[in-house]
Amino acid sequence: MEVKVQKCQNCASRNLRNVLVRDETQKVFVQCRDCSNLVARYVLAKGGYFHAGKGFESFLRSMERDGDMISGRDINSNFDELEHNINDEFAEITAMMNNIFGKKLP
């Protein structure tokens, strides 16, 4: 494992900022706060972005941007729709069985 703290190649400052860019990939541009030069650019791997203190929904949004997963809200909405459809289908099946067998189900 290699660990290092970056510094600006132009002015040797360690006063840096990270600029997150989200398009088809997620990239971090490291910019020097003192001279404004570009220090580095990183492309994040899928699932590689973690925002400390922002919670599970932030994590899900990050995963959604990776294109491999739907958001927690969409998962909840899909679950509600599925539950509603299953209840409707079960009511329809119950009515059909009552028509066929009456009150005495085998």
What tens digit of pLDDT does each residue of 31-60 get? Answer: 999 999 999 999 988 767 777 777 767 767
Higher pLDDT, 77 or 84: 84
Predicted pLDDT of residue 8:
96
- 21, 22, 23, 27 alpha-carbon torsion, rounded to 10°: 50
Mean pLDDT within 84-94:
86
| CA–CA dist 11, 32 (Å, integer) | 9
